[in-house]
Amino acid sequence: MDYGLLVMGAPYSQPAPHSALRFAHAILARGHQLAGVFFYHDGVHNASSLMTPPQDELNIREAWKALHEQHGVPLDVCIAAALRRGVVSESEAARHGYTAFNLEAPFELTGLGQLLTLQQRCQRLITFAN
C-alpha cells in the first residue's frame, strides 16, 4: 500500500516528528511504500541543516535524509510555512538578500498543492501533529 505522512510538529520540542519517523520505518518494514513526507507548520524545522543536537543524540534531519537516500522518499516542505519560520533554501536566501540558508536537498520547498497530490497518490495519509 502507498502511504503518505503529514508532519506538523517541531523536533525536540514536540513528539510528532519522532512518532512519524518511527512510523515511517514501521510501514517500510511491513513492505509498504512511503510515497512522501510533507512538512507543514512547525514541522518545517525538521528540515533545518543548522540543527546541531549533541553527537550522541538523534539528528532528526539526518534521519529523514537517510530515509530519502535508502528508500527514495520525497521530503517536501511547505514554502510558506518555512519562510515564515526562517527555514530558507539557497535560492530563497538569494532572492531575499540573506547571507545564509538552512534548507538543502533532499528537502524541497514546495507549495500546498504538493500535499494534495500526495494525498491523491496514497491510499493512506497519516497526520502527526501536536
Catalytic residue list: 78
Nearest to 50 by CA among 103, 108, 110: 103
Which of helix, strand or coil describes residue 3? strand
Cβ(11)–Cβ(18) under 8 Å? yes
Q: To which H or E segment does residue 24 belong? A: helix 16-29
In the region spanning residues 97 to 126, those forming contacts with other proteins, defined by CB under 8 A, are 123-126
Applying CB under 8 A, the span of 28-36, 45-53, 74-82, 103-111 interacting with other proteins comes to 28-36
Instruction: Decide if residue 23 touches other proteins (CB under 8 A).
Output: yes
Query: What is the contact surface with other proteins in residues (CB under 8 A)?
Result: 1, 3, 15-16, 19, 22-23, 26-27, 29-30, 32, 123-130
